[in-house]
């Protein structure tokens, strides 16, 4: 298979996985094949430098998730990994060789470099920061090359071609999870009441909208329906929106690619974030109007309403456990919870362990997802 064919096949799999992360293992395996690597990992965190909280870790090798390696790294190596603070200062979007993030002496004595990375097949890999403006910390770790050719020009070029699409995968997945649509289809998203959803045909004309999107378009504050097409309120935003839609709906044989942008509203309101995802059109289509692009409109500043009584009753938690669970879902750190309650951080961690035991889970990310699934109920 040529490099071009491998790229297009992998790209299609990444965009398929955006609506259902159960498809990510297959996409991850194709990334490994296209790049000629042993595996690739995604790390997602939140918070300022020096206080980044890990929200998600996904270590995959040839499409197989290695949760054993995830647990081992987070429990034993992440707190002492010397490269973590240096990587946090590395420019976004620029790949760096993993070994270059360690000092000469650390290459010899670092447990993370000499124990954890060989287990994960990424001691000779690359890392790329794909952070978002909303303070999400996204890292894509690319595993060791499968052969002795090392990091040649063509291999690095493939990584660079894929990295914006991997970043877009994480952005769309985050938006869908916050919208309560963890696993969805293009059609079922129209029933979602937490985010704006629009279907566009191959010419960029609006086919369907959900109630949230309809309300946004009617208000005209940021985005409007202009004779069946999307128009941004600000001229500069309209230029970017047109470019985004053109990339997702190419008139030529170029591959359709998605993207995201911030879309300004009035000065009193936080901006929307618009995600555009191409949708494969069945062939031959005999000229019928099919959905060719999905547009998702998210409002990052909007907090989901979490009813503590619903959380307590549903998860069978004590009042103290409920407070910790709700605060964690709202983004507070263990330190912030300890300061707010006058307790020690150890006491907060004990509450978390009790909650984990009751819910048969093991990570903060699992608890956050569980609590957010109850948002807006009751």
Q: Residue 261: what pLDDT?
A: 92
Residue 136 pairs with which residues in a beta bridge? 46
Report yes or no: 335 and 53 within 8 Å, Cβ to Cβ.
no
pLDDT in tens, 78-125: 999 999 889 988 999 999 999 999 999 999 999 999 999 999 999 999
Q: Residue 147: what pLDDT?
A: 94
Does 259 reside within a domain?
A: yes
Domain extent at residue 136? 3-178
Please determine, for residue 46, whether its predicted confidence score (pLDDT) is greater than 80: no
Q: What is the token pair recorded at 241?
A: 């929106």
CATH code, domain with 120: 3.30.450.80
Residue 371 pairs with which residues in a beta bridge? none
Q: How far is CA 239 from CA 62, 233, 234, 244, 277, in A?
A: 40, 11, 9, 9, 18
Select, from the ranges 178-187, 251-260, 363-372, the one with the highest average predicted confidence (pLDDT).
Answer: 251-260
Please determine, for residue 251, whether its predicted confidence score (pLDDT) is greater than 50: yes
| Average pLDDT of the residues in 355-369 | 85
Return the percentage of the chain with pLDDT > 70, whole number: 92
Query: Residues 172, 197: one domain?
Result: no
| Average pLDDT of the residues in 154-161 | 96
Report yes or no: 56 and 171 within 8 Å, Cβ to Cβ.
no
Through-space distance between the first and last CA atoms of the chain, rounded to whole angstroms: 54
d(CA 335, CA 92): 28
Burial class (CB in 10 A: 0-12, 13-18, 19+), 316: exposed
Query: Residues 252, 142: one domain?
Result: no
Query: Residues 93, 151: one domain?
Result: yes
Give the confidence band of 300 by pLDDT, cuts at 50, 70, 90.
Answer: low
Does 319 reside within a domain?
A: yes
pLDDT in tens, 200-219: 999 999 999 999 999 999 99
Does 303 reside within a domain?
A: no
Please determine, for residue 70, whether its predicted confidence score (pLDDT) is greater than 90: yes
* Mean model confidence pLDDT for the chain: 88
Computed on alpha carbons and rounded to an integer, the radius of gyration of the chain in Å comes to 22
Q: Residue 134: what pLDDT?
A: 55
Could you give the number of structural domains in the chain?
3
Structural domain ending residue among the three candidates 278, 298, 318: 298
More confident position, 334 or 244: 244
* Predicted TM-score of the model (pTM): 0.75
Query: Residues 294, 313: one domain?
Result: no
Please determine, for residue 378, whether its predicted confidence score (pLDDT) is greater than 50: no
Q: Residue 304: what pLDDT?
A: 61
Query: Residues 157, 36: one domain?
Result: yes
Query: Residues 35, 129: one domain?
Result: yes
DSSP H helical ranges for 44-182 = 67-72, 83-88, 104-109, 111, 117-120, 153-178
Give the confidence band of 168 by pLDDT, cuts at 50, 70, 90.
Answer: very high
């Amino acid at each position: 298979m040529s490099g071009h064919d491998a790229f297009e096949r992998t790209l299609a799999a990444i965009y398929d996985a955006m609506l259902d992360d159960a498809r990510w293992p297959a996409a991850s395996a194709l990334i490994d094949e296209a790049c000629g690597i042993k595996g690739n990992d995604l790390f997602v965190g939140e918070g300022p430098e020096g206080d980044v909280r890990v929200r998600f870790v996904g270590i995959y090798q040839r499409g197989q998730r290695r949760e054993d390696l995830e647990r081992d790294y987070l429990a034993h190596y992440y707190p002492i990994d010397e490269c973590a603070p240096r990587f946090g200062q590395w420019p976004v979007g620029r790949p760096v060789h993993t070994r270059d993030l360690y000092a000469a002496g650390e290459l010899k004595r670092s447990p993370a470099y000499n124990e954890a990375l060989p287990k994960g097949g990424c001691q000779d890999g690359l890392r790329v920061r794909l952070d978002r403006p909303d303070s999400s910390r996204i890292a894509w770790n690319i595993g060791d090359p499968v052969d002795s050719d090392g990091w040649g020009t063509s291999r690095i070029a493939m990584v660079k071609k894929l990295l914006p699409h991997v970043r877009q995968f994480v952005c769309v997945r985050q938006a869908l999870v916050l919208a309560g649509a963890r696993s969805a289809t293009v059609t079922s998203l129209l029933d979602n009441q937490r985010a704006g959803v629009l279907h566009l045909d191959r010419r960029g004309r609006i086919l369907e909208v959900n109630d949230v999107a309809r309300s946004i378009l009617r208000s005209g504050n940021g985005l409007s329906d202009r004779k069946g097409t999307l128009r941004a309120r600000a001229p500069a935003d309209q230029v970017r929106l047109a470019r985004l839609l053109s990339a997702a709906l190419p008139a030529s044989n170029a591959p359709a690619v998605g993207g995201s942008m911030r879309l300004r509203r009035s000065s009193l309101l936080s901006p929307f974030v618009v995600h555009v995802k191409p949708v494969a059109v069945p062939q031959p289509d005999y000229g019928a109007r099919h959905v060719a692009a999905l547009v998702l409109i998210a409002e990052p500043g909007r907090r989901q309403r979490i009813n503590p009584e619903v959380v307590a009753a549903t998860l069978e938690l004590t009042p103290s456990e409920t407070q910790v669970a709700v605060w964690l879902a709202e983004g507070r750190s263990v330190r912030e919870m300890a300061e707010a309650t006058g307790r020690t951080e150890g006491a907060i961690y004990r509450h978390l362990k009790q909650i984990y035991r009751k819910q048969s889970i093991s990570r903060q990310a699992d608890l956050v997802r569980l609590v957010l699934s109850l948002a807006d109920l009751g």
